[in-house]
Amino acid sequence: MKVRLTVVGCSPAWPNPGGAQSGYLVEAQGRRLLLDCGPGVLARLREVESWPTVDAIAITHFHLDHWGDLVPWVWGTAFGLGRERPRPALWVHPGGRERLRDFGSRLGREAMFEGCFEVEEYADGVPFAAAGFEVTAGRLPHYRLETYGFRVAGDGRSLAYSGDSAPSEELVDLARDVDLFVCEATLERGELDGRTRGHLSAAEAIAAFEASGARRLLLTHRPQELPVDGGLDLAHDGLVLEL
Ligand SMILES: [Zn+2]
Ligand SMILES: [Zn+2]
């Protein structure tokens, strides 16, 4: 049985037409791990299942396009079909539990996320088990926001997911020798980024891929208005890949 990746949503910080924002479902032998849960992801998951059953969700960082649909996930668990489902584990970065309590105090109630998810905090570079996969979060530079990428291994396969990242050695290390590197390519050109870098151009994503020794590259988090050269694999919502 292979590991399957479904691109639930792959829009950048603003949605592509009709698109959902970041959400990547990794599955093997019935185990389901969702990497990020941006706006539009829950609606997409509900197109195939009345309420999604996932074992674990892991969030790279607290920019809204990577976690925003955890909010309606809470309401659907409190008042909707999610009531019937076991609570997924929710992995967030160090200090993320407190961050969620702060968001909760402004958006509903302080403990709203802990009432819906089994909230856990990962540590930089320390592998943890989520949905039966071995996941390692690696700290990445992304403007000044605490941000991580994920390396996921299981069933003899491996993938890396950049989340959002500036060009960096840490990103190359995250993707070292994986079967599939899902890498953001938000920018038309690197020099259009802020002085403190936060994202990659397609050329910078390719450079990180080539330096990493990863076997396959899937570009993502890219505005539709910035097409990529033919021959490059570009994510689209609904894309399914087997590793
Ligand atoms: Zn993003
Ligand atoms: Zn971001």
* pLDDT tens sequence across 111-147: 999 999 999 999 999 999 999 999 999 999 999 999 9
Mean pLDDT of 43-71: 98
Q: How far is the CA of 151 from the centre of ligand 2 (A)?
A: 18
What is the pLDDT, as a whole number, of residue 229?
87
Mean pLDDT of 33-48: 98
Q: How far is the CA of 85 from the centre of ligand 1 (A)?
A: 28
What is the pLDDT, as a whole number, of residue 51?
97
Question: What ligand is nearest to the CA atom of residue 186?
Answer: 1
What is the pLDDT, as a whole number, of residue 103?
98
Q: How far is the CA of 62 from the centre of ligand 2 (A)?
A: 7
Q: How far is the CA of 50 from the centre of ligand 2 (A)?
A: 29
Q: How far is the CA of 223 from the centre of ligand 2 (A)?
A: 14
Mean pLDDT of 160-167: 98
Q: How far is the CA of 117 from the centre of ligand 2 (A)?
A: 22
Question: What ligand is nearest to the CA atom of residue 62?
Answer: 2
What is the pLDDT, as a whole number, of residue 60?
98
Q: How far is the CA of 225 from the centre of ligand 1 (A)?
A: 16
Global pTM exceeds 0.85: yes
Mean pLDDT of 49-57: 97
Q: How far is the CA of 61 from the centre of ligand 2 (A)?
A: 7
What is the pLDDT, as a whole number, of residue 106?
97
- Structure tokens of 151? 């390396």
Mean pLDDT of 36-42: 98
Q: Where are the beta strands (DSSP E) in the chain?
A: 4-9, 23-28, 31-35, 56-58, 89-92, 118-121, 128-130, 133-140, 147-154, 157-161, 180-184, 217-220, 240-242
Question: What ligand is nearest to the CA atom of residue 38?
Answer: 1
Question: What ligand is nearest to the CA atom of residue 165?
Answer: 2
d(CA 22, CA 66): 5
In the sheet where 240-242 sits, what is the strand order?
118-121, 89-92, 56-58, 31-35, 23-28, 4-9, 240-242
Mean pLDDT of 66-95: 96
pLDDT above 70: residue 1: no
Residues with Cβ–ion distance below 5 A, ligand 2: 63, 164
CB 33 within 8 A of CB 54: yes
What lies within 8 Å, CB to CB, of 29 at 6+ separation is 1, 132, 155
Mean pLDDT of 167-190: 97
What is the pLDDT, as a whole number, of residue 122?
98
Mean pLDDT of 29-40: 97
Q: How far is the CA of 228 from the centre of ligand 1 (A)?
A: 18
Q: How far is the CA of 190 from the centre of ligand 1 (A)?
A: 16
